[in-house]
Structure 1
Amino acid sequence: MRKVSGMKLTNRLVAFVTLIVICAIFIVFVGGALSFRKLGQDYLTHYLDGIVEVIDQELADPQGSQGLSRWLPKLLKASNVIELEVGSDSGVIYAFKGLQKLPDPNILHEGYYQLEQNPGFYVTLKSLPPYTEFTYSIGAMSSISLAIMTIILGLVWGVNWLRQQLQGSELLEERGRMILAGRVEEHAVGDEKEWPATASLALDQMIAELKDARQERSRFDTFIRTHTFLDQLTGAANRVLFDSRLQSALQDQETHGAVILIRLADWDELLAEQGKEQADELIHDVGMILSNLIQRYPDTVLSRYFDAEFAIMLPQQSVKEVRLFTNQMLNALERLLPPPPLEPDNWCHIGLTTFASGERRGRIMDEADMALRSAQLQASNNWFAFKKEQQGEDARGSVRWRTLFDAVFNANAIDLYQQPVISALDGEVVHRELLARIKDENGVQIKASRFMTAVEQVGYTVRMDKQVISKTLASLKQLPPDEVLSVNVNVTSLLERDFVRWLRDELLQTPRMVLTRLSFEVTEGALVKHLDAMRPIARMIVGLGCKLVVDQAGRTIVSTHYIKDLNVDFIKLHRSLIREINLRQENQLFVRSMLGACGDSRAQVIAVGVENEKEWNVLKSLGVAAGQGRYFAPEMSLAKQLTEDVKPTKFLFRSSHKK
């Protein structure tokens, strides 16, 4: 893989030009110095040759040899000759030695000459090299100094000119660095000064096309999921999604609720007399009424089960609340005037039944259908409930829930349980999701899936999230440095300014090494609904070093453009998509669609609710990054882990593994 160069193009060119100029100056300087030295040596040799020639001529004259001692010392001193000796094989006839003090005798130039006019005679001398006593002179070296200064000034001007010319290239390079850093949206359009202009324009066009392709891909993924799990006329869930959600709810522990069937009478006659357009309009109106009524009940599923039949699943609601809701629904539907041949007093019939964890889905739907037929026998707009024994459901009202929550919060008695998320690649623990639990007045433990609805109804969401986050931060400081925790936070709390300010202060007071081991989980539906308000909060969480996890992905059919928009780290699929995925091609299609939506981002897909090896093998073949569920490990108390100092577990998957 190619790596980004750490040196800018302009710096490279400037360094290259500067190096070339400095090398040229150095070469010229060395060459000039050698030439200067050679000229000095040649001048000294020529001058000494003249002295020897004069001595040779004087010795040839019978009278000249007698005057050497008179005029020769002055000549030698003027010529910087330190020592001179004239002699023959018979001996020395004249010797001279100057009185100058030399710092280093090794610098003397030595010469030996045979006299041409006096065969057998020789002259040896030692003289100072040329320019040894010279110092720098501005006057003498002014031309060279001026030349060097001119070159330096020219180099500075040339470098500045080169930087100005390549400023556009630097802008283009910096933009490329920002794009590689993931800041594509901020640098989608380049500066007009970028150079080469063709490369800048091409980059603009490619980013625009990539952005459009991502949006188109998101729309296509949403289209696939919509046509797979939603009814096209009403926008409600279809039968496939409803059965999947009901099956998932029945397999969860400590789950209860109700299934309601709403059937429109004389549907075939309405189609025959009024046509499909009029019939579709009635279905749309009924779907709008039902959709508005279920808004105040979280995790409720509305489905167009058949052409003229709707199904509603109300989880975690008491029988009293379900009956109240059914009455309200019937009153709302009766205010709707159906077209003929439907009778205004006998066109809508409702059947309901309750369910609890462990029951079979087919039996629940049969009970609801029998209740619906009983309502039809009454020949009027009416509802009927299937009579069955209630399995110890908790019918607390708001006052009792509020009293219980006050006691729990005042005593700081929230229990945190953890369940590991296991990597599909190497079996290592990615992080541990924290699950809140409380105990009622009798000491019976209650899961979050049962009391979170009540927490929202009584307005204690912020108090709950504050205590859970505070306990999580305290636990992180006690756990080993390789443990990573993930805590669930309600989007309702994150929309409160005081809570966000409190959260920011708590995170700022926590060491960075601890924050990198903390993840925040938010539900997908609420996140997309309040996406604009969640953007700055998500940036704050990620900026402080924490990770962002989107939970319950796929529970509602929404666009996935938020994955790239918020820099999400993990996407956790809703457990209803995982149950028996080895037998459900439509769920596999949904998972493939989600994996495709995360393909060009850093987000990794995690499967939640893995129960057996068959499901896990299919999920791994699809390409999920990690899994979570009872197949790997049950939920365990975090306090127990702190006491026992449990280290991260490595899970090895084998084809013979049974859970």
Structure 2
Amino acid sequence: MKLTKILTKKLTSFWLVSLAAVAFVFLLCALMSFVQLTYRFQQNKVAELESMIVTHYQQHGTEQLDTWLPAVLKAYHVEKFQLLLDQQVLYSHDVDILSRATGLTFYHHVIDPQTSLTVTFELPSPLNSYQFSGYELFILLIGLGAIVGFVRYGLRWFTQELDGVELLAIRSKLILDGDIQGAKVTAVKGRPRLINRAISKLINDLEDAQQERGRLDQFIRANTFLDPVTEIGNRLYFENRIAALSNDNKMVAYGVVFLLEFDDDALMNVQADIEENRAFITQIVAIIPPLVSDYTDVIFARRSGLQLAVVVPQLSLAEADLLADRLLRRCLLVKHHQIANHDNYLHIGAAFYKAGDQPSQTIEEAEMALRAAQLQRLNNWFMYDKGAVDKEIAKGSVRWRSFLEYALVNKRFFLLHQPVLESDNSLLHYEIFSRVRDNQNNEIRATLFIPMANKCGLMPQVERMIVEQVLFHVMPQNNAIYCINLSMDTLTSRAFIRWIQSTLLEHRPLATRLIFEVSEDVFIKHQQHPQLAKSLTMLSKMGARLSVDHVGKQVVGTQYIQTYDFDFVKLDRSIIRQVHERPENQLYIRSLIGGLLRSKAQVMAEGVEILEEWQTLKILGVSAAQGPFLGEITLV
């Protein structure tokens, strides 16, 4: 950009200097021609006078010269005249000294070589006697004004054309920087217009191609992970999401699995209209999401034609009982006129799981609960309860708020980190995790206290304390880069945004070593929130980088990645788990990387547990990853 401006200024200056030089040469040549013509005119007059004198001398000698020569000399403005013959003065004429003009021109010429007849003249310079008339001055001023006007118009036109070239350079720079929207906005006065229109057309085609690529990615994921009838997750999607809730084949938190199944004899084997059955299933599917909308990370899928699965993490036993009852009552409100037995066609089995349980065992327990409900021969639900529930789960919201506020005041939160390695196993950055200690100095997992902090509205304060510890205690000890997760409540908290903005302004060098990570769920649910875009833009302008994690957990398009200009895209562990054995997951990863090829986003993975997964990811083009195989979570 600077080079383009320098070149345009040099070109404009060169044009002005060249025009001034041409004008100067033109005026100089005109002046010289004018002077030359005036002297030539005077010389012609002198030559005519010489010829008259020679003719008279040859016929009459010096006689009768006084009769006509003084009047002619006066008409020619001759100041002094002498006619000589062999250096003898034959005739002389001289003007009074008081009336002599200045700047005289002297002429000496032998007019007859045979007789050595010579004349001398002293004439005033022809330029001295020339005066501009009013008409001539008017014409001269018009000419000069026309020249100035044309030069000014030419300079303005030339400057506008060069400004258009600079606009083209600005657009080109924005395109190279990946700011396609910015390049699209600056499309007004680019010159040449043909090139500007061509760039605009290519930008529009590129946007269409990106949108089409996003739709293609979503189509691939939909056909891989979505049920075609209900448009919710299929069995593969359910298995991936369940696997993502575990670590080392053990659940990392507590929750409940619900299995809803329709009786085969009552519903599916009757000679009913296929479209009516589909409409019935679709209505059932539409009822369930509003009932679980208050919970986070809910998994809703169709395991088979007759069975729906709902997994609700962070749900206590008491809440599970209420939810199961609501699910059953709301689903029974949907009518199907060809149901054979209205009293026994829908059953729900539920199994509570806690941290450390195996996913497969939890699913088996939910199926056992479903069989138990079916044995009752009524529309009913049954909960498989092992009786082993974490005591911390039973805490109410008031107790959780008191505990978290106490932990914030006494700074009981502490940090852990996990390395994120590039494909050559070099360190890219560390991701920060948090834990909190209770009154008995026991460690409470983030999967337990973060949902409660969200419910109590304390996440901005918790994440502010985490950022403070990273900035002022961890980062001064080394030169590493750290990634910190931020929630939706934090990004929309004005108090937090004002604090982080002022803090990053004071510690600008540290801002470049920060990566702020946001979950994909935030953009799915709150993509149109105005404060979200403002907060992310502010963090990016401060020098921090942006990352989105849990990508692939939901079946949605990835156009938001281009919109928010993320630096890192982190694949969810449900996509990574056993990726070397799942070609459909590999297809999605290839499609995602291809769609982000022209963006600056770097695709990473989380939850890598074995060598085969890491090797497969590197082959697919994933540039960095984290997980137990690459590095454990340790204290900072």
- Which one-letter code corresponds to 2:416 in the other structure? Y
1:564 corresponds to which of 562, 565, 568 = 562
Matches within 5 A, 1:462-541: 462-480=460-478, 482-508=479-505, 510-533=506-529, 534-541=532-539
- Paired residues for 1:148-547 under 5 Å: 162-188=158-184, 193-251=189-247, 254-266=252-264, 269-270=267-268, 272-388=270-386, 390=388, 392=390, 394-398=392-396, 399-424=398-423, 426-480=424-478, 482-508=479-505, 510-533=506-529, 534-547=532-545
Contact kept, 8 Å, 2:422 with 2:625, in 1: the verdict is yes
Structure 1: which 5+ runs fail to align? 29-137, 140-145, 639-659
Deviation per CA, 1:446-470, whole angstroms, max 9, x where unpaired? 1211221111222222222222222
Q: How does 1:31-50 map to 2 (within 5 A)?
A: none
For residues 589-635 of structure 1, give each alpha carbon's deviation from its aligned partner in whole angstroms, at most 9, with x where no partner exists. Answer: 22222212321211111100111111100011111111111112111
Could you tell me whether the CA contact under 8 Å between 2:267 and 2:338 is conserved in 1? no
Range 200-209 or range 246-255, more displaced: 246-255
Report the counterpart of residue 134 of structure 2 in structure 1: none
- Of all paired residues, the percent bearing the same amino acid is 32
Cα distance change on mapping 1:168 and 1:623 into 2, 3 Å: same
Name the SS of the counterpart of 1:312 in structure 2. strand
Counterpart of 2:434, as a letter, is A
CA shift for structure 1 position 536? 1.4
TM-aligned CA distance change 1:166 to 1:502, over 3 Å:
closer
Residues 520 and 550, structure 2, Cα contact 8 Å, conserved in 1: yes
TM-score norm. by structure 1 comes to: 0.72
Quote the offset at 1:514 in angstroms: 0.7
Alpha-carbon separation, structure 1, partners of 2:326 and 2:266: 27
TM-aligned CA deviation for residue 486 of structure 1: 1.1
**Whole-angstrom distance in 1 between the partners of 2:258 and 2:471:** 43
Distance 1:14 1:468, change over 3 A: same
Aligned-pair CA distance for 1:531: 1.8
Task: Give the aligned residue type for 2:502.
Answer: D
**Gaps spanning 5+ residues in structure 2: where?**
27-127, 130-139
User: Would the alpha carbon gap of residues 488 and 168 (structure 1) be closer, same or farther in structure 2, given more than 3 Å must change?
Assistant: closer
Q: Count residues in correspondence.
A: 523
- Would you say the 8 A contact 2:161–2:191 is kept in 1? no
Relative to structure 1, the CA distance from residue 170 to residue 407 in structure 2 (aligned partners, 3 Å threshold; closer, same or farther) is: closer
Q: 1:275 to 1:626 in 2, by over 3 A?
A: same
1:5-84 aligned at under 5 Å gives the runs 6-7=4-5, 10-11=8-9, 13-14=11-12, 16-17=14-15
Residues 155 and 392 (structure 1), Cα distance of their counterparts in 2 relative to 1, 3 Å cut: closer
TM-score by length of 2: 0.75
Verify the 8 A CA contact 2:178 2:599 in the aligned structure 1. Answer: no
Higher mean C-alpha deviation, range 207-216 or range 438-447 = 438-447
Post-superposition shift, 1:159? 5.0
Rounded Cα–Cα distance in structure 2 between residues aligned with 1:161 and 1:378? 90
User: Distance between the aligned counterparts of 1:176 and 1:364, measured in 2?
Assistant: 56
Contact 2:259 2:348 in 1 (8 A): yes
Indicate which of 628, 631, 634 corresponds to 1:633.
Answer: 631
CA deviation after TM superposition for structure 1 residue 476, in Å = 4.8
Does the 8 A contact of 2:280 with 2:334 survive in 1? no
CA RMSD of aligned residues (A): 3.4
2:266 & 2:394 partners in 1: Cα distance? 43
Q: Distance in 1 between matches of 2:319 and 2:242?
A: 19
Distance 1:258 1:216 in 2: 38
